[in-house]
Amino acid sequence: MTTAEEQNKLRDKILVGLELAYKRLIEFKKMKKSELIIMKDGKIVKIKPEDL
């Protein structure tokens, strides 16, 4: 394999891991009924679990 192919495989694995972490975070926030706090357009925004 070339370095570019190795980097693409690693990138794909990282993206799958990030997607899984995001799904688990949403499930956790819904289970605990706690707000998800994000930054949107430079402002801090709280999202209620029922809106997720």
Q: What is the largest CA-CA distance in the chain?
A: 47
The reported pLDDT for the residue numbered 1 is: 67
Note the pTM of the prediction, 2 decimals. Answer: 0.76
Domain ranges for the chain = 3-51
The reported pLDDT for the residue numbered 2 is: 81
Mean pLDDT by 10 residues, the chain (52 residues): 91 98 94 94 92 74
The reported pLDDT for the residue numbered 49 is: 80
pLDDT > 70 in the chain, percent? 98
AA letter at 19: E
Q: How far is CA 26 from the centre of its chain?
A: 8
